[in-house]
Amino acid sequence: MSFPELPPRRALPPDVRERMRRRVFGRPARGSATDRAGGRGAGGPLAVAAAVAVLVGGLVVARTADQDGSGALPTPSTAATRGFAGPDDAQVVATTSEDLSRCGLSAALFTVRFDGRRVLADRSDRYCELTYATTSTSTSAISVPVGDLRVTWRSPSGVLVGKVPPNLAGLVTRSSRGALPSALTDYGYFVTLSSSPTTVFELTHREQPVQVHTLDPATVPDAARTVDFHPSGVADPAANVLDRCLDVGMLSSARPVSDVVPWTLGAVVGADTTAGLAVLRGPAGTTAYCRLDLYRAKQVDGPMGGVGSPADAYQVRALVSRNSGPPLGFVLLVGGTLRDDVHRLELVDASGPRPVEVRDRTFAGVLTELSSTDVSAVGARLTAYARDGTVLQTGPVS
Amino acid sequence: MRGATTRRQGAARLVETDAELWGRGDRAAFAELFDRHAEAVWNHAYRLTASWSLAEDLTSATFLAAWRRRSEVALVRDSALPWLYTVAGNLARTEFRRLGRLRRALARVPEPDVVPDHADRVASSVDDSDELRRVLAVVRTMPPAEREAVELCLLGELSAAEAAQVLGVAEVTVRSRISRARARLRATLDEEVS
- Average of per-residue pLDDT across B121-125: 38
Q: Does the beta carbon of A1 lie under 8 angstroms from any beta carbon of chain B?
A: no
Find residues 328-367 of chain A whose CB sits inside 8 Å of chain B: 340, 360-361
Predicted confidence (pLDDT) per residue in B148-164, tens digit: 888 888 888 888 888 88
Q: How many CB atoms lie within 10 A of CB B183?
A: 10
Chain A interface mutation, best of B95, B135, B193, highest count of A Cβ atoms under 10 Å: B95
Contact B39 A19 (CB under 8 A): no
What is the β-pairing status of strands A296-301 and A287-293?
A: antiparallel
CA end-to-end span of chain B:
41
Give the E-state strand segments of A123-273 in sequence order.
Answer: 127-131, 134-138, 144-146, 149-154, 159-163, 168-175, 178-179, 182-185, 189-193, 199-205, 211-215, 224-228, 264-269
The three-class DSSP label of residue B133 is helix
pTM as predicted = 0.56
Residue A285 contacts B where some CB pair is shorter than 8 Å: yes
Question: Burial, A373: exposed, middle or buried (Cβ in 10 Å; 0-12, 13-18, 19+)?
Answer: middle
| Alpha carbon distance B110, A171 (integer Å) | 52
Residues of A in contact with B47 (CB under 8 A): 6-7
DSSP H or E segment with residue B33: helix B27-49
Q: What is the pLDDT of residues B42-71, one digit of tens each?
A: 999 988 888 787 788 889 888 887 877 776
Q: Residue A23: its chain B contacts at CB < 8 A? A: 60, 64
Computed over every residue of chain B, the mean pLDDT equals 72
Q: What angle do CA B42, A25, A88 make, to 5 degrees?
A: 115
A244 interfacial to chain B (CB closer than 8 Å): no
Could you tell me if the ipTM is greater than 0.90?
no
Q: Collect all residues of chain B within an 8 Å Cβ-Cβ radius of residue A263.
A: 94
CB atoms within 10 A of CB B7: 15
Say whether residue A259 is in contact with chain B using an 8 A CB cutoff: yes
Residue A202 C-beta-side C-alpha neighbours within 13 Å? 12
Chain B residue with minimal CA distance to A340? B145
Residue spans of alpha helices (H) in chain A: 14-25, 33-38, 97-103, 241-251, 375-378
Return d(Cα B94, Cα A260) in angstroms, integer.
Answer: 10
* Residue A163 to residue B11: CA distance in whole angstroms: 54
Q: A324 to chain B, minimum CA–CA distance in Å? A: 33
- Least Cα distance to A9 among B51, B17, B141, B43 occurs for B43
C-alpha distance from B171 to closest chain A C-alpha (Å): 13
User: Digits of tens for pLDDT over chain A (398 positions)?
Assistant: 456 777 788 888 888 888 888 777 765 444 333 333 333 333 344 332 222 222 222 222 222 222 222 222 222 233 333 355 444 578 888 899 999 999 999 999 999 998 889 999 999 999 999 999 999 999 998 999 999 899 999 999 999 999 998 878 788 898 887 788 888 888 889 999 998 889 999 888 777 778 899 999 999 998 999 999 998 888 889 999 999 999 999 888 777 777 777 789 999 999 999 999 999 998 777 889 999 999 999 999 888 765 566 678 998 888 888 777 778 888 999 999 999 899 999 999 888 899 999 999 999 999 998 887 777 777 889 999 999 999 999 998 87
Nearest-CA distance from A381 to chain B in Å? 25
Is B98 in Cβ contact with A80 (below 8 Å)?
no
Tens digit of pLDDT for each residue in B2-23? 333 333 333 334 577 888 888 7
Q: Which of residues 142-201 of A touch B (CB under 8 A)?
A: none
Residues of A in contact with B163 (CB under 8 A): none
C-alpha span between A289 and B91 (Å, rounded):
20
- Give Cα A397 to chain centroid, integer Å: 30
d(CA A196, CA A70): 39
Q: Do A16 and B129 touch (CB under 8 A)?
A: no
Q: Do B182 and A286 touch (CB under 8 A)?
A: no
- Put simply, the answer to whether B65 touches A86 (Cβ < 8 Å) is no
- Please enumerate in sequence order all residues whose Cβ is within 8 A of that of B172, keeping only pairs 6 or more positions apart, or say none: none
Provide the H-helix boundaries in A170-240: none
- In whole angstroms, give the CA distance from residue B39 to residue B41: 6
Whether B64 sits inside 8 A of A33 (CB atoms) is: no
Q: Which residue among B31, B38, B101 sits closest to A37, beta carbon to beta carbon?
A: B31
What is the distance in angstroms between the Cα of B45 and the nearest Cα belonging to chain A? 11
In this complex, the residue of B91, B119, B186 whose CB is nearest that of residue A13 is: B119
Length of chain A counted residue by residue = 398
DSSP track, A300-367: EE-----BS-TTSSEEEEEEEEEE--TTT-EEEEEEEEE-TT--EEEEEETTEEE-EEEETTEEEEEE
Cβ–Cβ contact A6 with B under 8 A? yes
* Under 8 Å between Cβ of B78 and B32: no
Whether residue B68 and residue A25 make contact (CB cut-off 8 A), yes or no, is no
Interface test with A, best of B57, B64, B83, B87 (most A CBs within 10 A): B64
Give the model's pLDDT for residue A362: 94
pLDDT tens-digit series, residues B22-37? 877 777 888 889 999 9
pLDDT value of position A3: 65
Residues 6 or more apart in contact with residue A57 via CB below 8 angstroms: none
Q: Hey, is the C-beta of A31 within 8 angstroms of any chain B C-beta?
A: no
Give the A:B interface size as CB pairs under 8 Å: 165
Instruction: Say if CB A160 and CB A214 are below 8 A apart.
Output: no
Rounded to whole angstroms, how far apart are CA atoms A141 and B100? 41
Closest residue of chain A to B166, computed from CA coordinates = A284
The CA distance from A81 to B46, in Å, is 19
Rounded (5°) CA angle B182-B170-B75: 100
Cα–Cα distance for residue pair B164/A133, rounded to 1 Å: 35
| Torsion angle defined by CA atoms of residues B119, B124, B130 and B134, in that order, rounded to the nearest 10 degrees | -50
Residue B30: its chain A contacts at CB < 8 A? 44-45
Q: Which of residues 100-129 of A touch B (CB under 8 A)?
A: none
Is some CB atom of chain B closer than 8 A to the CB atom of A77? yes
Q: Which residues of A touch B28 (CB under 8 A)?
A: 36-39
Give B94's pLDDT tier (boundaries 50, 70, 90).
low
A102 and A135 Cβ atoms separated by less than 8 Å = yes
| pLDDT score at A9 | 83
**Chain B residues touching A342 at Cβ < 8 A:** none
Q: Which of B47, B60, B123 sits opposite A24 (nearest CB)?
A: B60
